[in-house]
Structure 1
């Protein structure tokens, strides 16, 4: 049986296709994965997702396998190391945001709160949209606006409504696979 994918999932790039087939829209609220996707989505801002996926392993190495407890302890030398790392996107604001956001996550945990709790307060159950084509999928919505505003107030950076909407799709809180995509309901 031929697999039907969302238009962007038909890429010749195997990493991109694998991401579409195995991760995108699949619920994963593991705290490390949430941080990883937040970092990657914020670095993607202004770039293609394919560019970020191609550098994902480099990001993992650079950011301590997305262990945000370790990243929260990064100092000026770590920042300079990241600024010199040709394997990642060397953007000062984005690197600062990744380190800052790790610190915010640790601070939340120290106050008996988690990022998962914040997200599921807004989205208790995954939202399954039913777009006919990818053009029907919004770049952001009222929910991503609300979440963006709330987490900015907590101190997160580089988390605008568009980045947050993409993040919610990435972690499976919003499933925007097109209606006839073979991977919409995770059967394959």
Structure 2
């Protein structure tokens, strides 16, 4: 900060316009995590929506049977009770949430909010579906929850619609969004 003017330095320039590769790697370090989580959540949402057996109140592989099975072993059984009232509606809500989180994460649109949604979905699944995993690290929802934390904190500062919008608001156009 110099005389009330914000100055940003993102990389070290060397003679000939070279940029230190470590600076670029640091700036883009969260991009692989964003892509992995975004693709995974889009896939999970689409998988649920297209699986006719899953979107049933009862029967093998159904959301209804899954919720009845995990209810008594969940850390917070009260989280499962609303799903038991309308398992198909709950299945659609989870699938829609996963899709919204995945798309928001991939596009970098409302990235922190999408990441918070992903963390909350993962937390709720850990406290219900995978809580009984023994040992605890066999359940995949806890690591997913912690994978969302860096994206909640940092958002999507590069290669994102958030950065593009922020750049346009600052009058820079697209220059800062796609570095």
TM-score, length-scaled by structure 1: 0.30
More helix by share: 2
Q: Which has the higher contact order (CA 8 A, sep 6+)?
A: 1
TM-score (norm 2): 0.31
Flag the structure with larger Rg.
Answer: 2
